[in-house]
Structure 1
Amino acid sequence: MPKMSMTIPHQLGEQEALSRIQGMLRDVKEQYGDRITDLHEQWSGNSGDFSFKAMGFALAGKIEARESEVAINGELPWAAKPFQGTIEATIRERAERLLRP
């Protein structure tokens, strides 16, 4: 499966970044509810595992809030490989917007 990995720098501190990023998947679900199903999140401390289906593609990964960055790592199904750049750009843009001071 194709891997997705990114870090988004911020100046919020770990707890504030965690608070903001935890709502990101729910916001995406609300905005794109007709295209996103089976959303699951499991948080433990400053990291969380997530999975969902977007337009029929199953995506899964891990988010970790750190003092000065948020790391997002995941796997995409092979069928989603042509859309990987768009998926990564969308996630990065949304996370950067959430993590602005």
Structure 2
Amino acid sequence: MPGFKVEVPHSLGQEDAANRVKSLLDHLRGRFEGTIKDMEQTWTDDDVMQFSFKTAGLVIKGIMDVQPSSVIVKGDLPFAAMLFRGKIESSIREELEKCLASK
């Protein structure tokens, strides 16, 4: 199955970055409530989250790894979603960059 990968650098430290990402996910869940269904997320420790959700009848699965100096999101895409891979990656990158911007 084809995949996607986004890596966004940060200078926040691992704990602060993880806390910001968790807040972002809560915000996004509410924002896309009608579009995304069956969203599941499981933090295997404080820094790695496995996720899955359905959108437009397609299942998207992957992991988010919050590292000391970057956040990596990677996952599998159904073949039917490959036309949107660039948009998916750019949307993830944009949201993470805003979330992880130093204040």
TM-score, normalising length from structure 2?
0.92
Percent of residue pairs identical: 34
Q: How many aligned positions are there?
A: 101
Deviation at 1:43, TM superposition (A): 0.3
Query: Which segments of structure 1 move beyond 6 Å, counting only runs of 4 or more?
Result: none
Q: Which runs of 5+ in 1 are unaligned?
A: none
Q: For residues 6-38 of structure 1, what are the alpha-carbon distances to aligned partners after superposition, in whole Å with 9 as ceiling and x for unaligned?
A: 210001000000111123333222111111000
Please say if 1:33 is aligned against 2:33.
yes
Alignment of 1:9-88 (within 5 A): 9-45=9-45, 46-88=47-89
For residue 4 of structure 1, what is the aligned residue in structure 2? 4
Please say if 1:98 is aligned against 2:99.
yes
Amino acid at match of 1:69: S
8 A contact 2:13–2:69 mirrored in 1: yes
Amino acid at match of 1:7: E
CA RMSD of aligned residues (A): 1.0
TM-score, normalising length from structure 1?
0.94
